[in-house]
Amino acid sequence: MTRSDLRCIVEAVGANALMDELIHALTEALRTFDGEQTEVRKRDGFLLESARQPGCLEWMPVMQRGQAVTVKMVSYSPHNPEERGLPTIIATNSLYDVHSGHLIALMDGVFATALRTGAASAVATRCLASPDSRVIGLIGCGAQAVTQLHAISRLFPITEVLGYDTNPEAQESFARRTAFLGLNVKIVPLAELEERSDIICTATSVAVGGGPVLSEKKLKPHVHINAVGSDLPGKTELPKSLLERSLVCPDFTVQCLVEGECQQIRPDQVGPDLITLVKNPDVYEPWRERSTVFDSTGYALEDQVVTALFLKHAERLGLGTSVALETVGGDALDPYALLHTPEAAPKRDVRLATGS
């Protein structure tokens, strides 16, 4: 599935409807999660050394027993935008048949990652933020801030959006990039953002050891924070003191303890994970009037959900191109059979999307 296929899906479904559908699908996947049927692994990968700031290349696997394995390969290169004109996050999502090991589908993960991360924050925010929340603050106005705002605005009647970024270009273009939402976007000093926001999303490329990115001096007592930027040991966005007095909900606990905000606190100070939160929302409802944090490091289950959603729409719309990528067909016992097997002409084929 190419970039043009994804464009066709968004145009056919609509950006708002697609985000609504993703939020619903992710909520259901979390609410009905069964560890006996779905195995999610903590991501692993390589640290990419850089003279300025390290990045990483990682893989995030999840298996639905008896069905398929979804794997995302994702890179984090914080200087991509200014040095190469590329996104900070670049990814590809792939789907494999668990019976044969056959690659069923391969698709872009850049757009999918942005969408699913925003959707995950929306799910957590619905459970933890005050229902009266109207003002949202974005610390970091890059690509991820756009989908954070989009997703949360689908669940809360946002009346004002406050943005802050250390990058002047990101600040200046944020209102234009979010204009499709029809919201009142203002760029303000960080102190004002902290003081006035009911919901705050931190989505920064802060360096390892460079945090925190907010001061917590005048936060509202009921503030809910989605901390999205932590993805390496030593890279954090929030003050430890804020975490210690808040209900901290990790997306995937074993991962967050290593590379999320949770690495700053003891395991016994960590609250319910996202699955527990969604399965038992009433239990944590009293926290909506106190400070809460969603520690979002990126969860492979989210990748499974968004990949399945795009493939469903690809099947419905007849999108996806069949590619003879693997050397299969002919004599299964003869690796040189490819020399005698005629190549079929490339054609558009929905079977890539359906997994058949």
Residue from 231, 251, 295, 303 carrying the catalytic annotation: 231
Locate 106 and state its tokens.
């391969």
DSSP 27-78: HHHHHT--TTTEEEPPPEEEEE--SS--EEEEEEEEEETTTEEEEEEEEE-T
**Alpha-carbon span 247 to 255, nearest angstrom:** 18
CA–CA separation, 17 and 132 (whole Å): 24
User: What secondary structure letter does DSSP report for 179?
Assistant: G
- DSSP SS3 for 283: helix
Dist CA 177 CA 185 (whole Å): 10
For 264, counting Cβ atoms within 10 Å of its Cβ (0-12 exposed, 13-18 middle, 19+ buried), the class is buried
Q: End-to-end alpha-carbon separation of the chain, Å?
A: 15
Alpha helices in the chain (DSSP H): 3-13, 15-31, 80-84, 110-128, 143-153, 168-177, 190-196, 240-244, 253-259, 274-279, 300-317, 351-354
- Cβ atoms of residues 213 and 200 within 8 Å: no
User: Do 179 and 44 touch, CB atoms closer than 8 A?
Assistant: no
CA distance linking residue 110 with residue 118, whole number of Å: 13
Nearest to 271 by CA among 254, 294, 249, 252: 249
231 is catalytic: yes
Q: Taking a C-beta distance cutoff of 8 angstroms, is the pair 307, 70 a contact?
A: yes
- The residues carrying an active-site annotation are 231
